[in-house]
Amino acid sequence: MPLLEAADIKKIFGKLTALDGAALTVGENEFHGLIGPNGSGKSTLMKCIAGAEVPTQGKVSFVNTDITAFTPTERARAGMSLKFQITSVLPTLTLYDNILLALQAQSSLFDLVFSRTRGALHDQVMTMLTQFRLADRAFDAAAALSHGQQQWLEIAMALAGKPKLLLLDEPTGGMSLEERRVTGELLQPIKKHCSLVIVEHDLDFIRDICDRLTVLDQGKVLASGTVSEIQANKSVQEIYLRRA
C-alpha cells in the first residue's frame, strides 16, 4: 500500500477549474516531485493534500485512512507536515522557540502549562538546529535570518514532529545557487524516515533529489513515473518546450 494516495481530485474555484481529476501516489521513503507549468494546479493539489483546501471531489488516503475530511490539525497528528510556499516562521520568536513550538505540538495541555516537556525537548531542538546549520543563531529572532535560512528553519520546523510525509511547496524559491545545493544536501538524510512531496520550478534540483515525478498540466496528470521515464516522455518535453 502506498503511503499517500490522492485520487480523482477536482477543485473548482468559481468558474475556474484548478484541478480536474488529478492524482498522486507516494510510497514510503520516496521523494516525489510535482512539476508542471505555472497554473497547472501543483500548489492547489498540495493544499488539498495538506488540508488547506477542501477538494470539490475526490479522495485522499494517508496510511490507509481516508483523510479527505480531516482538518489540518488532524492531518498533522496523523503524521503529515507542510512547509508553506510563503515562509511562515514566527519572526519575533527566537529560532530555538520556533523549533520548540513545532516540537511541543503534541504535548498535553497539562505539560504545556507546567512546562514539563521543555527539558526533554531541548536536545531535539538543538539537534534540529545543528542539522540545518542554524545552531549558532539559536537565540536570535527568526526575523534576523536571511531568506534562505528562514526557509531552512521552516523545513526544520516542519520536520521537527518526525512526520511520515513532508509536503514542501517551493523550498528553494528565492535562494542562491549555493543555498539550493545546500538545501538538497540537508534534505537527503531525512529519506530514512520520511517521504517527501515537493513542488519546485527548479528542474535540476528536482532531478537531483527525487525518485519519481508527477507532471501536471491544466489540472490533470500528464505523466507520472521515474525521473528518467519522465525525461524521455514526449508530451512532457512538449509542454516545457511550449512554455519556453
Partner 1 sequence: MPKSMSVVREAIAGDEADDAMAERVAAGQAKEQVKAGRKVLPIVEGVVLVAALLAPLVLQDYLTVFATRVIILALFALSFDLVWGYAGIMSFGQALFFGSAGYGVALLARDLDITNILLVLPAGTIIGLTFALLLGGFLLLGRHPSSVIFVSLGTLTGSYAADRLARGWYYLGGQNGIPSIAPMSLGGYEFTEGPAFYYLVLGILVVVYLLCRFLVRSQFGLALAGLRENEQRIAFFGYKAQHLKAIIFAIGGAIAGLAGSLYAFHEGFVWPNMVGVVVSTQVVLYVLFGGSGTLIGAVIGTVIVEGVSFWLSDNYREIWPIILGLLLLLVILFRPLGLISFVLGERERVGSFGARPKETERKTEKQTEKEKRNAAP
Q: How far is the CB of 221 from partner 1 (least distance, A)?
A: 26
The residues that bridge with 25 in the sheet, in sequence order, are 5
- Near partner 1 by CB under 8 A: residue from 1, 113, 241, 244: 113
Kindly state whether residue 136 participates in binding partner 1, applying the rule CB under 8 A: yes
- Near partner 1 by CB under 8 A: residue from 5, 28, 111, 211: 111
Residue 224 phi, psi dihedral angles, 5° rounding: -150, 135
Q: Which residues of 51-67 are buried (b: 16+ CB within 10 A; e: fewer)?
A: bbbebeebebbbeeeeb
Kindly state whether residue 106 participates in binding partner 1, applying the rule CB under 8 A: yes
- Residue 141 or 186: the one with the smaller Cβ distance to partner 1 is 141
- Near partner 1 by CB under 8 A: residue from 57, 65, 73, 188: 73
Kindly state whether residue 174 participates in binding partner 1, applying the rule CB under 8 A: no
Q: In angstroms, rounded to a whole number, what is the distance separating the alpha carbons of residues 244 and 239?
A: 9
Q: In angstroms, rounded to a whole number, what is the distance separating the alpha carbons of residues 124 and 109?
A: 20
Q: In angstroms, rounded to a whole number, what is the distance separating the alpha carbons of residues 126 and 111?
A: 20
| Interface positions with partner 1 (CB under 8 A) | 50, 52, 71-73, 76-77, 81-82, 84, 88, 90-94, 97, 100-102, 104-107, 109, 111-119, 122, 126, 135-139, 141, 157, 161
